[in-house]
Structure 1
Amino acid sequence: MDTSNIKNLFRLKPAPAEPAQEALPKAEANPDDESFEESRRRTYHESGYRDSSRTSGNHSTLSICLDAVYSKFQNEEKEMVEKQQKLKESYVNEQKNRETEIKALTVSQETREEQLKTKNTEIENHQHTIENLKAEILDLPRNPEKYNVKAGRGASAKFWIGTILLIPITLYLATFYISTSYSAFFKSFDAKSTVIQSVLDANAWMKAWNDGFIEVAFVTLIPFVFLGLGFLIHMFGENKTKINYIKLTLLFIVTFIFDAILAYEIESKLYELNKIFESPPFDLKIAFTKIQFWGIIFAGFVVYVIWGLVFDFIMKEHREKDRIKNEQEIRQKKVEFFQEKINTLKKEIEEIIANIGNTKEVIIKTRGRIEELQNIIDGVIIPTKDYKLYASEYVQGWITFIGEKIAVSKTEKQTMIDSCIDTYNTNLETVGANSDNQNLVYLSSL
């Protein structure tokens, strides 16, 4: 507010016809009533005029008088119960809203705490389940029947024993069929060759290598034919149906015939080497009478059958072992599943704890605000813009006396008025009722 406006605000008013009484309006009067407000303003104006007359308009004394005016204004506002209730209504409503907010926050906190307990219980249950599963994984190989797993104990030992037996039998079959196939189809016999040398040639593979690619490939791969036949015997034997039994019988017949062909070729070469002029041509009837013929067949066929039986036993033991292993893998996957659930629950627990912490902080801040609001409600609300109005009336009365009754030069009189205006502005700044903050509410706990 500039100086000209202030001077217009404090323009001189006529002195009252009679001195006003110092009694202020009664608190029971309605502050909204125009006659009450007008009477109150006139009272402050007259008080200013009277106090100025007592101090000859001294601006230093004005500062003390304005402090007293402010105290009187506070007391007046305190006694205006209805006005105070109206001024405090917004704070009372806010306090109620804050209390409702705390109730909602408390319920939310209790809900989260219950969730926290539930999730901690779930973690404990999952951890207990994991411990049981790990114990079952360790105990399964020893007691499979305890967990309704149809697998014999010690299957692993039988499996390895069968495997150890199968390796030398496989090597025997490979050696036998490499030698016999080379002797039957590629070898040239001489008079010095014995039966054993004719059947089992120690250098059969090297001779086949020297003879050519076809020869070495044939004698190298032919053992796998018999091993494949043995594998098929196992596969057909797994499902015990009539068709599979027929297939098994045909496989045995085919294997026997193949061994018979090898024996026949070898025996035929030996017969042709040793026959005389009167000897009849070699045929099956003659072959069946030769011990070497049957020796070659059974040295291959019987061992092949033994290989098939051992292989079948190993596969069954492996299947037994797989049942235990599969059950262990199933339990291990369950362990991983529950561990993932535990990790997820721990993350959720961290979020819940963080939310509980935030809720507690909000509750503490809200309770602090409720206390602040209670202090406001218990105290006295001083509407500073109203004080400024009545203080200006008081100062107007003060300056009116100076203008009318102080007998000094115009310049000195104006200096006194300016000093009073400065004192007035200082007082407004002190009580927080300056022109920049006219709508602020000043609190005073009396």
Structure 2
Amino acid sequence: MDTTSIKNLFKLKSVPIEKQEEQLPKTEINTSEESYEESRKRTYHESGYRDSSRTSGNHSTLSICLDAVYSKFQNEEKEMVEKQQKLKESYINEQKNRETEIKALTVSQETKEEQLKTKNKEIEVHQQNIDNLKAEILDLPRSPEKYNVKATKGASAKFWIGLILLIPITLYLATFYISTSYSAFFKTFDPKITIIQSVLDAKAWERAWNDGFIEVAFVTLIPFVFLGLGFLIHMFGENKTKVNYVKLGLLFLVTFVFDSILAYEIESKLYELNKTFDSPPFDLKIAFTKIQFWGIIFAGFIVYIIWGLVFDFVMKEHREKDRIRSEQEIRQKKILSLLEKITALKQEIEEITASIGSIKELIIKTRGRIEELQNIIDSVIIPTKDYKRYASEYVQGWITFIGEKIAVSKTEKQMMIESCIETYETNLERVGANSDTQNLVYLSAL
């Protein structure tokens, strides 16, 4: 760097120190006409020139002088109350905003903590309801009337007894109708066998199987017809209306007629097997006089009625049992619903807890920022851009003296100036007023 560029950089003053001193009264006179800023810059320039004259422009001494200049600048800035207030205004406003933010965060935290308590209470209530429902499920079979359930205790035992009775009766009816239907419609009677063997053939199904598909299908499926009629009797008996009573009567009549047909066919075959030339043709009048005719009817029809009554009883007991089970299932569904609500509430609690944690962290950070702002407000704010300007004026005065008053070679003088500039830049770095941060503020707590 040559002397010309250095002069351009610092705008060196060409007025000798003696002349400056002579002009000091004039400067004081014109101070009121100059701005405060220009007056302050001139003062720093003159101080630099004067201090350089006292130390012969030594750059090592310049470093100490710049430290003193910085301290002087700090004290001057500290005394400028209005300027400090203006510099701190943005920090004060931010502090107020942060305090307002903390209040809002605190209210939000309290609201969420209240929500947390409410959710936990809801879980406790749901859990208590679940425990009560479980207890009701266990107690329902013992005391259904306690829960306004119209079901008698011990229904399960009656149900199983009725079911045990129903099974052999069903097997009896199946055996009876398979045998009698085969005897009535397909069997050829043998005079050598007894009447009982003619009516109740132990090998009826086997013979029907040997006779053909139609025969075996008929004798196999016909018991289900009577069982179906018995089921219909139970269904019509569920609703006690006049129409259903008429239907019940017709079902009993149909069953009786069918049993009568079977008895008539069997009795007719027996009559034909034993009749003589003097015997009249077989008809209903003759059939009504035969004991076997009525025996076949009652062996099927009466047992059929008994089966229907037992079946009806079993179904009613099962309904009683179902009523209790239905109430238990209703309560079980309520338990599942409550468990789903508890799961949803726990998830909400986790979210609220996480939110509260985030709010607490934000409050801590905000309070930390408020403390930082308070430290800034309590400190002296040093506008480094301004310091750089005044320090530059001081160094300009220092170098002006070197350029005008130091009697050394041009090369040596240039080296001195460069050393002073290097010292100046080092000072800017140290106080945070380098070119990269010249628009920031440097804080110093005094």
Counterpart in the other structure of 1:229:
229
| In 1: Cα distance, 2:435 partner to 2:326 partner | 87
Query: 1:185 matched to which residue of 2?
Result: 185
CA distance in 1, matches of 2:402, 2:183: 151
Q: Does 1:382 align with 2:387?
A: no
Look up the equivalent residue of 1:129 and give its one-letter code. Answer: N
Alignment: residue pair count = 436
* 2:6 is the counterpart of 1:15: no
Counterparts of 1:234 and 1:331, CA distance in 2: 30
- Aligned twin of 1:210: 210
Are 1:249 and 2:249 counterparts? yes
C-alpha RMSD of matched pairs (Å): 1.7
Q: Distance in 2 between matches of 1:394 and 1:434?
A: 16
Letter in 1 for 2:423: T
* Residue 291 (str. 1) matches residue 263 (str. 2): no
Partner of 1:42: 42
Contact 2:3 2:414 in 1 (8 A): no
- Partners in 1 of 2:224 and 2:419 — Cα distance? 125
Q: Deviations over 1:299-346 (max 9, x none)?
A: 000000000000111111111111111111110000000000000000
C-alpha deviation, 1:409, in angstroms: 2.1
- AA at the equivalent of 1:244: N
1:84-95 correspondence to structure 2 within 5 Å: 84-95=84-95
The letter for the 1-side match of 2:249 is T
Q: Residues 258, 44 of structure 1: CA spacing in aligned structure 2 closer, same or farther, 3 A cutoff?
A: same
User: What is the aligned partner in structure 2 of residue 71 from structure 1?
Assistant: 71
- Residue 27 of structure 1 is matched in structure 2 by none
- Looking at structure 1, the residues matched to 153 and 72 of structure 2 have their Cα atoms a distance apart, in angstroms, of 103
How high is the sequence identity, in percent, across the aligned residues? 85
With structure 1 as the length reference, what TM-score do the two structures score? 0.95
Q: Deviations over 1:74-121 (max 9, x none)?
A: 111011111000001111111111111111111111110000000000
Deviation at 1:21, TM superposition (A): 12
Letter in 2 for 1:423: T
Q: Distance in 1 between matches of 2:439 and 2:311?
A: 101
Paired residue type of 2:362? V
Instruction: Name 2:429's counterpart in structure 1.
Output: 429
Give the Å deviation of 1:278.
1.3
> 2:29 is matched with which residue?
none
Secondary structure in 1 matching 2:307: helix
Please report how far the alpha carbon of residue 46 of structure 1 lies from its aligned counterpart in structure 2 after TM superposition.
Answer: 1.0
Q: Which ranges in structure 2 are unaligned for 5 or more consecutive residues?
A: 25-32
- Contact kept, 8 Å, 1:20 with 1:47, in 2: the verdict is no
Alpha-carbon distance, 1:154 to partner: 1.0
Inter-partner Cα distance in structure 2 for 1:172 and 1:372 = 100
Structure-1 separation of matches of 2:301 and 2:323:
33
Query: 1:424 and 1:184, CA in 2 relative to 1: closer, same or farther beyond 3 A?
Result: same
**Cα gap change, 1:243/1:3 in structure 2, threshold over 3 Å: closer, same or farther?**
farther
Find the aligned partners of 2:4 and 2:209 in 1 and give their Cα distance: 129
* Correspondence for 1:340: 340
SS at the partner of 1:417?
A: helix
| Aligned mates of 1:361, 1:236 — CA distance in 2 | 74
1:410 offset after TM fit, Å?
Answer: 2.2
Q: Call closer, same or farther: CA 1:279–1:20 in 2, change over 3 Å.
A: farther
Report deviation, 1:3: 8.9
Q: Report whether the alignment pairs 1:326 with 2:288.
A: no
| Letter aligned with residue 248 of structure 1 | L
Asked if 2 retains the 8 angstrom alpha-carbon contact of 1:163 and 1:314, the reply is: yes
Shift in alpha-carbon separation, 1:92–1:21, aligned structure 2, 3 A: farther
Hey, what's the Cα distance between the residues in 1 that align with 2:247 and 2:398?
Answer: 132
Q: Give secondary structure in 2 for the equivalent of 1:215.
A: helix
Q: 1:283 to 1:170 in 2, by over 3 A?
A: same
Measure the CA separation in 2 of the matches of 1:228 and 1:20.
139
Give 2:265's aligned amino acid: E
Cα gap change, 1:215 to 1:20, in 2 (>3 Å): farther
1: CA distance between counterparts of 2:216 and 2:34?
130
AA partner of residue 201 (structure 2): D
Question: Any conservation in 2 of the 1:45–1:396 contact (CA below 8 Å)?
Answer: yes
Gapped regions of structure 1 (runs ≥ 5): 23-32
Q: How far 1:244 moved relative to its partner?
A: 0.9
- Which residue is 2:363 aligned to? 363
Task: Describe the superposition over 1:347-401 as per-residue Cα deviations: whole angstroms up to 9, x where unpaired.
Answer: 0000000000111111111111111110000001000110011111111111111
1:109 alignment counterpart: 109
Tell me the equivalent position of 1:81: 81
The Cα of 1:7 is off from its aligned counterpart by: 3.5
Query: Deviation digits for residues 20-78 of structure 1, max 9, x if unmatched?
Result: 999xxxxxxxxxx9521122111111111111111111111111100110011011101
Q: Which one is further off, 435-444 or 296-305? A: 435-444
